[in-house]
Structure 1
């Protein structure tokens, strides 16, 4: 596939498309992959779109405004071509939230796979359209192989009791069951913990908390996902920035029968107007809520509900695992809000979870006492490097297959 190109010089582009941003990173082959640049297009579809990029050896990203009438993706590709040798890239990889019931492991993009992604977009209607649009755009603009990595892969082997939903079984045959999401983040956290603490610790009873605009938790033992809060769609589980998480199904009936809302309107309300935003009636941003909480009761209650639901979930997952050895926080809130971490862990001393407040406030990687029974850690997640690893593995497999055919 790559001709005479030196494998050690292979460069890949990892893309992570959201509804209002596209994160990207370039990597050269290595173990771990060598990051050459990382950045993001932000505020897509809004005034003030920017391209921020931090290149290898730089401490801070440079920020470039995207002209108001420019095509942001075209602007990004032009910048990459001019500044980072886009022609040296051998493959492009994408984070895609869901591949439905048929796809979970990384795959080469094909017309059949792209059609399936369109067909299963309803699994994550707030995430999938942007990823599909980016894939289609790159198909039109670049003659490069593309690889799709699914956020459900980490949870593909959930135990039956966690996977099945308590609805008529005929729906399970249609693919309606717990899929789980944030899988690339969880895979990275487990790999990071394994490299740091060793395989024995990584095989223990671990609860992972990816807390951000979208939030979820996962219970892991023996290195495998045993349960996770997100279920059929990424809108389920604990409360999030604008998503309600799990609610009484009777509320949906009420909204339809008494409020006269159509299905799409119910979705917009529960996925885009609920969670922290709905409770506070002001903002979904946790930093803003913490600042408002001292004078705004609604903001204080939104923070309290969020922490309470996560604390409940940790207790439930400790029961499911038969105890807990390690708790790992990640995601935008989990990584950057020491007050939230402390409030979540408050009252969990009966499980052996304790916080060293100096370490927590300082943002150290281990925020529990050294002698604590449960190790509590904060890791900055990296979904893009997991995409890169998948790409390098698949490129190597493809080259080996070509060699066997010759």
Structure 2
């Protein structure tokens, strides 16, 4: 089955056409204003369309064929992901308008994490809040974590795996026997690691203090934590390549940014190892995870007590195993292929 995968981002629509054997037949990032009809007319016709949808709430735990009712339910989840869900829906609507007769399937970033136990999913807040507002730790990047962990399991036979999706957004997952048992993102994608422009976890008391003592509105605080924090706040640059270059020149802000980033990353990996009952393999994926050997090396150095070590020569890669000789834990670099996970889910839903 030929599947068109659709990944709607903040400023582009990533389209990839996969053939029956998952070969890439066409690929493009459709920028704003592009004539989508013209693009798709020039491509072979897909037999199905798979959409990455950021939030599935507690309702959607696996890929599902989209109909009018499902589309409405996805829209109803916007309050849980106001920055991301509208983009997913906009991509869905744009492609459906061009391919109205082709079956479409929603594949969810949250679905992989619906298996995390209550101990990991539950916030210690009043039960009335948890029930009324569906407050829990949802986790995100599930399509990437699912693909990456499955690849590592097939390659190494490992049961206890920690996956590190490091990009503009970043999260970790603890995977035990193919199931997510913990992750660093929570009710929103803001929790957890330091990211390009997101703060990651901060003391909630800080947020309340800023609102009360500085008179900042919830919107102002949210905008700042989402778009003007993280690496951008510490180094003045959101792109990890630029941060590394600046740190290499001795820029104090960039040096601090890297130290904070690696500190949070190593602590998070150790936490995920605890959630999985140990660690047999660590996998890096995503733009930073795949292309930044220094980050991988620094994280592994901090985690030597867990049995991690990377070989400097092998670490100079964007795919493959980078484990040092004698290390107890295997370390790998796995290219992100959310499109393949979307295609797999799409075919399964249509079967």
Unaligned runs of 5+ in 1: 1-9, 45-70, 398-406
CA contact (8 A) 1:93 1:148 kept: yes
Partner of 1:126: 83
CA contact (8 A) 2:174 2:276 kept: yes
Unaligned runs of 5+ in 2: none
Larger radius of gyration: 1
Q: Give how far 1:77 is off.
A: 3.2
Tell me the alpha carbon deviations over residues 304-348 of structure 1, each in whole angstroms, 9 at most, x when there is no partner: 101110111122222333321111000100000001111111132
Quote the Cα distance in structure 1 between the aligned partners of 2:4 and 2:176. Answer: 32
| Correspondence 1:83-122 to 2 at 5 A | 84-85=43-44, 88-122=45-79
Quote the Cα distance in structure 1 between the aligned partners of 2:108 and 2:273. Answer: 27
- Give the match's secondary structure for 2:18: strand
Q: Give how far 1:259 is off.
A: 2.4
Quote the Cα distance in structure 2 between the aligned partners of 1:381 and 1:128. Answer: 21
Counterpart selection for 2:13 from 7, 22, 27: 22
TM-score normalised by structure 1 residue count: 0.82
Partner of 2:138: 179
Q: Which has the higher contact order (CA 8 A, sep 6+)?
A: 2
Counterpart selection for 2:38 from 73, 78, 98: 78
Tell me the alpha carbon deviations over residues 246-272 of structure 1, each in whole angstroms, 9 at most, x when there is no partner: 111111112211222222222111111
> Residues 322, 157 of structure 1: CA spacing in aligned structure 2 closer, same or farther, 3 A cutoff?
closer
Partner of 1:48: none
Counterpart selection for 2:331 from 355, 367, 376: 376
CA contact (8 A) 2:150 2:178 kept: no
Counterpart selection for 1:38 from 27, 31, 34: 27
TM-score normalised by structure 2 residue count: 0.94
Partner of 2:3: 12
Quote the Cα distance in structure 2 between the aligned partners of 1:369 and 1:331. Answer: 22
Aligned residues: 348
CA RMSD of aligned residues (A): 1.6
> Residues 347, 142 of structure 1: CA spacing in aligned structure 2 closer, same or farther, 3 A cutoff?
closer
Quote the Cα distance in structure 1 between the aligned partners of 2:313 and 2:260. Answer: 25
Tell me the alpha carbon deviations over residues 199-231 of structure 1, each in whole angstroms, 9 at most, x when there is no partner: xx24x2111100010000011112211110001
Q: Give how far 1:103 is off.
A: 1.7
Quote the Cα distance in structure 1 between the aligned partners of 2:171 and 2:344. Answer: 24
Partner of 1:209: 164
Quote the Cα distance in structure 1 between the aligned partners of 2:347 and 2:277. Answer: 37
Partner of 1:156: 114
